[in-house]
Amino acid sequence: MKLLYILTPLAPLFGAIACGFFGRKLGRTNSHRVAIAGVAVAFLFSLIALIVQMGDDAKVFNETIYTWMVSGGIKFEVGFLVDRLTVVMMTVVTSVSLMVHIYTIGYMHDDPGYQRFFSYISLFTFAMLMLVMANNFMQLFFGWEAVGLVSYLLIGFWYKKPTAIFANLKAFLVNRVGDFGFLLGIAAVLVYMGSLNYTEVFAAAPAVVGQSMEVIPGVAWSVMTVTCICLFIGAMGKSAQIPLHVWLPDSMEGPTPISALIHAATMVTAGIFMVARMSPLFELSETALSFVLIIGSLTALLMGLIGIVQNDIKRVVAYSTLSQLGYMTVALGASAYGAAIFHLMTHAFFKALLFLAAGSVIIALHHEQDIRKMGGLKKYMPVTYWTSLIGTLALIGFPGFSGFFSKDAIIEAVHHSQITGASFAYVCVLLGVFITAYYSFRMFFLVFHGETRMDDHTRDHCHEPPRVVTVPLILLAIPSVILGAMTIGPMLFGGFFGDAIQVAPEHDVLAELGAGYHGAFQFVLHGFKTPALYLALAGAVAAWFIHLQKPGIATWFAEKFSVVHRILDNKYGFDAFNEKVFAGGARQVADRLWKVGDVKLIDGLMVNGTANGIGLISNIVRTLQTGYLFHYAFAMIVGLLALLSVFIFSA
């Protein structure tokens, strides 16, 4: 199995190298064949690993593959930890990535950067696999930064497009903020627990619980709380939690396959996975759990509200992703780590489906993305219509669909949680259900129902994209329907993750929920007794009534509550604040440093000042060199009188 685990991330890396360095020689067709083959091999090996780990006598694989350096007794290693948490992530990443690779053949067919794009997405898959398979913090950080780098390249793939360049720079900088906190957390782990290896760190963590540090002189802080919050700040950047969420909506400037790959199953879920992997640490700090819970609940509610006023089809799905990441984070804060990973898994498929369906619409409408210029596409694009409906029903948590099981499990877990802030979080996630249903069906109705608002040329040429686009939609729609019912029992209530996730007995809300679990069908029936279902139905009906029956209501609301609409449209002012305070402040500081340090100090005083000083001295000396003998004789006499005066007065 060791060789299989090594080959799993190397297969997409081989595809990335082949397409990147030899893409011109391979040609477009052979390039996508090599890239898809690499990811397909990784997917096959991930399935084998999943089957092996699900066996009753399965053993966790935890070995060092390569020791890079030993310094001061600290080992810097490349190693793999393959347990049930790992194999779930491996399977999700490789399966969604495979669908995206196939879909890319159709979406990027005419793009001049075809081979380069396949190289990037294969490299992205390699980086994610290295991240989720790591058994130590060094390799985790390598994968963490590698996915950040490749996402920068992918978001700015169309590098001649100014908005794309701005978006990838924004993503890069915001993630550096989160990564600074992440590095501090890793440093704290190394200083106080003496290792970078997960197993050794988790074993040493209980002894650190009573220790404190002084972040501010004279104020004692819990080492475990500071460490966990610093690690979570890294997750806030990578998984786009408020206020480090601002990069994700702008990343829609990249090609649509990237939206599915980054925002559905890979980069943005890296932070969720990391916190779940670090559950032995987070369980030792209830303050850190409460912090995670509040941040997640605010993200789930506030980002969903912004989705209501968005008109770009990809941005609506992007803000939906932000909101759902908030739900996962809420589950982490409630110590329902299994529910967070469960929702991560189901969300990966139906959100990738929604992004790729949006891309299908964009292809059909010649890259039009404004939902106000669509309408009535059901008759032109039946496959996209039905798969979009499935993805939307899964997203809102309609009973029986995969999203229902994972989202309802999170809501119930928060309802039963005793962590500080759980009551506030419960209200937020319930309101989020209504908001999610409203903006999801608003988009669905405006795109596929009602009057056709396209121009005549677009309408006459509108048709379903080729099978290379529609087949991945169908394949993603299947797990969006059945995956939740198939896996909820073992994954949430059957101890599926074993020791990969550790929960303190007083925090184990899933065990409390599991006592009343009697199968997927009974879980669905129980859903009819909860407010979440009726809030979702209310949101869908409200979207139908407002945007299909009485469209004037939306206009009236925007005018009547213009202040609220403006706040949502301006995204609560986060972008404006960052632009004025951080970006503007940095520019002002740089301007002052340039004017004072560069112009006045370096150029003015040191460079030009030296030259001017020499010139001034030269001018003085030049006046003494007259060439007249009586001037020199007079100077000698004055000098002699001065010397005599010194001797006389000093005697």
- 267, 213 in Cβ contact below 8 A? no
* pTM to 2 decimal places: 0.88
Give the model confidence (pLDDT) of 100-131 as tens digits: 898 888 888 888 888 999 999 999 999 999 99
**Please, which residues have CB within 8 angstroms of residue 611's CB and are 6 or more apart in sequence?**
none
Instruction: For 350-487, list the strands marked E by DSSP.
Output: none
Residue 62 — left, alpha, or beta (φ > 0 → left; ψ -120 to 50 → alpha)?
Answer: beta
**Residue 452 corresponds to which tokens in the numbers above?**
């056709």
Q: Please tell me whether residue 134 adopts helix, strand or coil conformation.
A: strand
d(CA 612, CA 605): 9
Distances (CA, A) of 476 to 50, 98, 129: 19, 11, 21
d(CA 610, CA 283): 63
Which stretches of the chain score pLDDT less than 70?
263-266, 651
What's the pLDDT score for residue 221?
Answer: 86
- 51, 82 in Cβ contact below 8 A? no
What's the pLDDT score for residue 539?
Answer: 94
d(CA 562, CA 574): 19
In the chain, what is the greatest distance between 2 CA atoms, to the nearest angstrom?
120
d(CA 526, CA 521): 9
Distances (CA, A) of 70 to 195, 373, 474: 11, 60, 50
d(CA 128, CA 140): 10
Give the model confidence (pLDDT) of 271-310 as tens digits: 999 999 999 999 999 999 999 999 999 999 999 999 999 9
- Taking the C-alpha atoms of 155, 157, 159 and 160 in order, what is their torsion angle to the nearest 10 degrees? -110
Q: What angle do CA 482, 484, 487 make, to 5 degrees?
A: 105
First CA to last CA distance, the chain = 101
What's the pLDDT score for residue 629?
Answer: 79
Among candidates 416, 411, 399, which has minimal Cα distance to 485?
A: 399
Strand partners for 136: 197
Q: How many CA atoms lie within 13 A of 603 on its CB side?
A: 8
Q: How many CA atoms lie within 13 A of 201 on its CB side?
A: 28
d(CA 417, CA 325): 19
Q: Please tell me whether residue 65 adopts helix, strand or coil conformation.
A: strand
What's the pLDDT score for residue 618?
Answer: 82
- 314, 258 in Cβ contact below 8 A? no
Strand partners for 405: none
**Residue 266 corresponds to which tokens in the numbers above?**
């890979």
Q: Residue 301: phi, psi to the nearest 5? A: -80, -55
3-state helix, strand, coil in the chain (%, to 5): 80, 5, 15
